[in-house]
Amino acid sequence: MSQPSLTTDVTHRLVSTPAGRTHLVEQGTGPLVLLVHGFPEFWYSWRHQLPALAAAGYRAVAIDVRGYGRSSRPAPVSAYRMLELVADNVAVVEALGAETAVIVGHDWGSTIAANSALTRPDVFRAVGLLSVPYTPPGGPRPSEVFAQLGGDEEFYVSYFQAPGRAEAEIEPDVRGWLAGFYAALSADTMPAPGAPDPHFVSRGGTLRDRFPAGRLPAWLSDDDLAVYAEEFERTGMSGALNRYRNMDRDWEDLAAFHGRPITQPSLFLGGALDASTTWLTAAIHAYPATLPGLVASHILDGCGHWIQQERRDQVNRILTDWLAALPG
């Protein structure tokens, strides 16, 4: 299937990384800006940012995180721990002939970007975080926290833990599941206040039981959905879901960084209707201590989770203004 013309001027490359190979898409020349997607997406979620950043004088590079797209998909679940993903990002920067980069991430990509900046400040000179606020490593063990959420219902992160369980729900109808998941977290199609929360699963039920049906969000065309569905039909979902299955390992691996702030120049963007942002309001309020280099923080009214696609022009303006103000 041909992809929309928005992506025709990009260059696809495969580079050697600890994952095996990492697929990336780049556009433009200038200082390197590394774009890291979240779940369940791949480099394509940055299709609106690549040309905008290139036009502003940057070398914009969107990767497929290991387990996604055309990047390698190692078999062991433990291969998807955070420090492995950080190592992939460092290797991408080196493979592109750069010494440093600005890193920007959305959803899981926000957490990957934050931990890349935290653990490798020598490589990542600034960090932009979309939708998921920064919280320093540490605190209670993640699996214990998630198990306590929802009462008689099961939080989606806990639901994703057992290999094969979520795959059995998603893979028989990837296109339909993705359409519902994207709609459930988009401002114009998410369930009304008071409706059952799509982040939780009824005992014996599935996530898709609570997805809205029959209408795609405004940001997602049929062609865009086909691109996403085609990729996940080809790869399967295990590589993507394995990120969730390493949160306790991350907690252990990052013990030396528990409680540490990120000191590089930073940016946060969140949607006012996005649970990923609103649930972590306390983390945003803690930014003077946890992100002392914060340049700007924006909460976009009427915006859901897929922020760089729902509000592409606004996000592009904020990103390019922030990048232009960074030192050196």
Confirm if 103 and 80 have CB atoms less than 8 A apart: no
Question: Is the pLDDT reported for residue 264 higher than 60?
Answer: yes
Q: Which of 126, 119, 96 is nearest to 295 (CA)?
A: 126
295-309 pLDDT, tens digit per residue, is 999 999 999 999 999
Q: Which residues fall within 8 angstroms of residue 101, CB to CB, at 6 or more apart?
A: 31, 32, 33, 34, 93, 123, 124, 125
- Positions marked catalytic: 107, 305
Rounding to the nearest 10 degrees, give the CA dihedral for residues 197, 199, 202, 207.
110
Question: Is the pLDDT reported for residue 6 higher than 80?
Answer: no
- What is the extent of the structural domain holding 223? 5-325
87-134 pLDDT, tens digit per residue, is 999 999 999 999 999 999 999 999 999 999 999 999 999 999 999 999
The whole-model pTM stands at 0.97
pLDDT-derived band at 5 (thresholds 50, 70, 90) equals very low
Find the farthest-apart pair of alpha carbons in the chain and give their distance in angstroms, rounded.
54
- Cα separation, 238 vs 168, in Å, equals 10
Question: Residue 252, class by beta-carbon neighbours within 10 Å (0-12 exposed, 13-18 middle, 19+ buried)?
Answer: exposed
- Cα separation, 92 vs 139, in Å, equals 31
42-99 pLDDT, tens digit per residue, is 999 999 999 999 999 999 999 999 999 999 999 999 999 999 999 999 999 999 999 9
SS (H, E, C) 50-117: HHHHHHCCCEEEEECCCCCCCCCCCCCHHHHCHHHHHHHHHHHHHHCCCCCEEEEEECHHHHHHHHHH
Q: To the nearest whole percent, how much of the chain has pLDDT over 90?
A: 93
Instruction: Report the CATH number that the domain containing residue 148 is assigned in CATH.
Output: 3.40.50.1820
Q: Which of 61, 89, 71, 68 is nearest to 14 (CA)?
A: 71
Question: Is the pLDDT reported for residue 1 higher than 60?
Answer: no
The predicted structure's pLDDT at residue 214: 85
Q: What total number of domains does the chain contain?
A: 1
Per-position b or e across 105-134, b if 16+ CB within 10 A of its CB: bbbbbbbbbbbbbbbbeebbbbbbbbbbbb
The predicted structure's pLDDT at residue 7: 62
Q: Which residues fall within 8 angstroms of residue 47, CB to CB, at 6 or more apart?
A: 4, 6, 7
The predicted structure's pLDDT at residue 213: 87
126 DSSP 8-state letter: E
Q: Which of 10, 157, 13, 15 is nearest to 87 (CA)?
A: 15
